[in-house]
Structure 1
């Protein structure tokens, strides 16, 4: 049985969770910053509406592609090696976007930023879970979502400060991402390789996992788990993506309020989500996890039914934002992050996450193409669709995903948390 982690070991695990978890901060930072910075670049660089849409779509596409490739590379060559390269690419992309002389450079910068952001997520989350002490894995993985949400108000504050500065403001916003990525890179250089990945690589007497192991992920043993996790995330992400990407569109174009009011409503919802994420960290490793998941799913459905039943108004949308801001955390994406660590073995963990993230982003992008059309036809219908999506994802989580056998803690019973065989620790970490 593994040793009970001492206080220094627990502190090191939290340090790893913070440094690796900054992948989530950088992911949210890339999305939110680009949404504002492209507007600031639009007039000085004469960006057309078609180019604006292409650049926004390219970011989403590259995040999904990056997750797909980065996840598999992480399982083959190690968490530390991959997320050191990805955060370096992220910094290069942010630098190109901050110094972009024209539209052409924006395409290259967003390609790099999006790819690196997506590729950074699977190895970072796997590192957190594999380095965490037993019975704290869910808590530390859920902490990454707190970091994801923390990026949003930080970027919004930058947007408020530089919003009237045009291209110079966009350069400052991307400069913020460059600085953060550089600091994260320097801190990650001090992290050791994941002990579980190291043990697996050593057990097959190589410095990397055999690429043919991907076939085993699609075997009868693991495919049902992968399919359940991917479907859960893709469907629940439809709601989260619609809420995040189109809430201001709804408030301005359907409700008829102004941008300032819409931003204030979004900020209220974000505060509720942050509080809910901190609450999830307290219950996710306890017997109350699934009770919270079920109650959260029910509350999220009710949140969608309020504007669908009583009609679209500022009050109804605020109620939705507050209730979903809380319940969507307990029953949504953070649970995908936790399940994708617990239910998939080390040699497939990052690959499975990459596949799930890429699939979910593709589904969200496809649904996003028709979302404004549905809202223009009937916003009430949109909320009914979202309620149905929550019901389906909740049932998948409750009846399918949560019943799959956990493997992460079983893997840790044969190696103390944080232990790396001394003879091979240097080779496995890539130093």
Structure 2
């Protein structure tokens, strides 16, 4: 692979020798580099992720729809790619920004090079970018809009690309759940991966959970199945009547991309009806945010969000600190929470609400990702808490 000395990030619109890719921001800033993955261009919100492992899971997380991911960890590609470490069959991220060139696969589970894997899914990437500088910019000024472009012939219309970035409306007010949700109801039986066995299969479920798919990561569904649940997945547009017709013991509200208020225009009224039934309800990430909206709270867009596998969160009931995996750009406004909705977890980075429960009802949610993928498994107990609520409800 080529070294990292040329071309380096620059704000000039003149293409440096050897540059085959660029990240063009809405303000006209141009970061040059070497193209990887698919050719072409894509527009989105430029964010950063601090995870040191699991780049394949990150790139396939449906919550990254509409976003270009800057990896702060420099060595991407070293474990290659495989068919198991994916969170959806069709990745929806817009692109990837890397510091170093892709490294060669050096892992026994690798079945192909990451570059070939990215090409097969149409994912555009750029390497050779000063990701430290870009991350500091996002941290200080918020996530910018940008266009990532890979053109091996070296032909770039920078003015047109900058105009495209400026014209993109941004994620605020954007409903992306409809783009990444399943198209029809289906059963999920796959359980979590284990060394030497791969994924298992749930054959003796104790409870039936209906999962509303707003962009669900597959490992969340695996964790539910692993906890003893028969899982029926329904599209984001399913009504409360659709869900209740399936006679679930509990309802799960999945993660997903975009603005919760936008998706909530059709989902929140249905979630409110489900909460009113008294059935156990568990929400994660976007599901957490829309549950809060259904309970009467509000959400707002963060400047740069939380994205990584090393975020400390405090359980307010026990005082325990969990290291969590996170990926969200919107957050619940704590000041708007009704009196009977109690914060259960709090971010030790910025103090934001990371979990909720409803007093007197079997309803709770978390902002972070207890299924990890990638990340630590400190929070797997939450799936069992959901099962305990269903046990209690069943008597």
Whether these two folds match at TM > 0.5 is no
If each structure's strand is expressed as a fraction of its own residues, which one has the higher value? 2
Given the two structures, how large is their TM-score scaled by the length of structure 1?
Answer: 0.25
Bigger RCO (CA 8 Å, 6+ sep):
1
If each structure's helix is expressed as a fraction of its own residues, which one has the higher value? 1
Given the two structures, how large is their TM-score scaled by the length of structure 2?
Answer: 0.26
